[in-house]
């Protein structure tokens, strides 16, 4: 794996030798020109030194490594979502340099690489190992473990910066947005999404639902224990959900009530095309939704304001997908600034 030109020491912004390469699946050390050293484990540079709030996510993505990949499901859920968020044909990203933060197992990494982009993928958790296993053989792919608030990248160096399904799970969404904005080149595009806020009454009511109570218990358990618990929960409740997937007025009414009570994430109505993969998605997202330490909410207007506060020109911010989806552009340095690929 060749080192990308954008790679920098996260503390001093010093460069690494661009003639270097990382051996596949091997351990080693990266040395920056400032003297800082960073470990390489299993072929992946690591810029995170200790356990983090995202450890449960890392375990989750390695356990369900292929679940959300379009290449695994045979449907285009990830591709369609990415295309909608970016706001252009994915073919237009050919040759673009992309920073993907919160890359997880690579559901969007795979799509970006297939479109011909070069992807610098980052995740705080050990999900980078799943991403490497899924996408590491593709040309233009690089992945490392790092914090969005301390990215190992040169400022203003990417055509497209993307963070889907990530910002709401960080301690500081505004800080994350600022870091993303700083990584986009002048004229570059920043694409994010965010959960919507709940009204206060609904938030209080949700806290006393079975899903809310379970989440408060599970986030306090070791990640492996919480993963086993959510797996057992899904396997226990999934037969009831399957029974209610049948059509008819009675089943529809019962299913509507049951979905308000059950803590299981059921995508039968949202993504019926998943077919036999619905159970996998239930296993993955039930764990995801019951073990996230941070679950912030922003309206489209609030998300747009955070993007503007980070110095970006907002193109669009609206309700969509899991909540709010937004695109913004870093202002060009001047009339002679070179055009990029993203967003054309």
- Model confidence pLDDT, tens digit, residues 31-77: 999 999 999 999 999 999 878 889 999 999 999 999 999 999 999 99
- Asked if 163 and 189 count as a contact pair (C-beta separation under 8 A), the reply is no
Q: Which of the residue ranges 63-72, 110-119, 242-251 would you say has the lowest mean pLDDT?
A: 242-251
Taking 60 as the threshold, does the pLDDT of residue 335 lie above it?
A: no
* Same domain membership, residue 174 and residue 311: yes
Task: Report CA dihedral (150, 152, 158, 162) to the nearest 10 degrees.
Answer: -50
| Reported confidence tier of residue 251, pLDDT bands at 50, 70, 90 | confident
Checking if the pLDDT of 2 tops 90, the result is no
Domain containing 91: what range?
A: 51-196+298-329
For the stretch 314-332, pLDDT in tens is 999 999 988 999 999 999 9
My answer on whether 248 and 183 are in the same domain is no
10 Å Cβ neighbour count for 178?
Answer: 19
Do residues 250 and 111 both lie within one domain? no
Lowest mean pLDDT segment, chosen from 211-220, 239-248, 300-309: 239-248
Computed over every residue of the chain, the mean pLDDT equals 91
b/e 57-88 (16+ beta carbons within 10 angstroms → b):
bbbbbbbbbbbbbbeebeeebbbebbbebbee
In angstroms, the Cα distances linking 165 to 33, 90, 149, 205, 273 are 34, 19, 16, 24, 21
Over range 13-29, report the average pLDDT: 77
Determine the pLDDT at residue 18: 59
177 and 64 within one domain: yes
Q: Pick from 129, 154, 132: which is nearest to 141 by CA?
A: 132
Whether 156 maps to a domain, the answer reads yes
Query: What are φ and ψ of residue 55, in 5° steps?
Result: -60, -40
Structurally, the chain folds into a number of domains equal to: 2
Decide if 112 contacts 93 (C-beta within 8 A): yes
Residues 281 and 312 placed together within one structural domain of the fold? no
Q: Is the pLDDT of residue 342 over 60?
A: no
Beta bridge partners of 174: none
Would 342 be classed as within a structural domain? no
User: Within 13 Å of residue 20, how many CA atoms lie on the same side as its CB?
Assistant: 17
Q: What average pLDDT does this structure show over 163-187? A: 96
Whether residues 222 and 81 share a domain: the answer is no
Q: Looking at beta carbons, which pairs linking 238-243 to residues 24 or more positions away fall under 8 Å?
A: 238/264, 238/279, 238/282, 241/266, 241/268, 241/282
B/e letters for 211-232, b = 16+ CB within 10 Å, e = fewer, are: beebbeebbeeebeebbebbee
- Does residue 272 surpass a pLDDT of 80? yes
Q: How far is CA 192 from the centre of its chain?
A: 10
Domain co-membership, 152 together with 276? no
């Amino acid at each position: 794996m060749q080192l990308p030109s954008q790679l920098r020491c996260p503390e001093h912004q010093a460069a690494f030798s661009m003639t270097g390469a990382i051996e596949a699946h091997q351990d080693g050390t990266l040395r920056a020109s400032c003297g800082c050293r960073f470990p390489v484990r299993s072929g992946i540079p690591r810029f995170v030194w200790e356990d983090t709030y995202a450890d449960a996510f890392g375990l989750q993505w390695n356990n369900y490594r292929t679940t959300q990949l379009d290449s695994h499901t045979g449907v285009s859920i990830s591709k369609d979502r990415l295309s909608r968020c970016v706001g252009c044909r994915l073919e237009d990203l050919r040759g673009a340099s992309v920073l993907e933060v919160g890359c997880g197992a690579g559901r969007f990494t795979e799509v970006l690489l297939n479109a011909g982009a070069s992807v610098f993928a980052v995740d705080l958790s050990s999900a980078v190992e799943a991403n490497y296993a899924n996408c590491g053989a593709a040309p233009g792919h690089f992945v490392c473990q790092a914090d969005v608030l301390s990215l190992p990248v040169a400022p203003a160096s990417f055509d497209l910066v993307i963070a889907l399904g990530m910002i709401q799970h960080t301690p500081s969404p505004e800080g994350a947005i600022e870091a993303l904005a700083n990584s986009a080149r002048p004229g570059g595009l920043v694409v994010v999404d965010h959960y919507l806020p709940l009204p206060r009454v609904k938030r209080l009511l949700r806290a006393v639902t079975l899903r809310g109570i379970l989440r408060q218990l599970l986030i306090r358990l070791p990640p492996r224990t919480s993963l086993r618990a959510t797996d057992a929960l899904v396997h226990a409740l999934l037969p009831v959900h399957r029974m209610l997937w049948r059509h008819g007025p009675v089943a529809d009414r019962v299913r509507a009530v049951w979905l308000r009570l059950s803590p299981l994430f059921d995508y039968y109505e949202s993504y019926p095309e998943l077919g036999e993969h619905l159970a996998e998605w239930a296993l993955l997202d039930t764990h995801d939704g019951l073990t996230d330490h941070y679950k912030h909410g922003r309206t489209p207007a609030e998300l747009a304001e955070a993007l503007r506060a980070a110095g970006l020109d907002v193109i669009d911010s609206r309700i969509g997908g899991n909540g709010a989806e937004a695109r913004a552009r870093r202002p060009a340095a001047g009339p002679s600034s070179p055009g990029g690929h993203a967003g054309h």
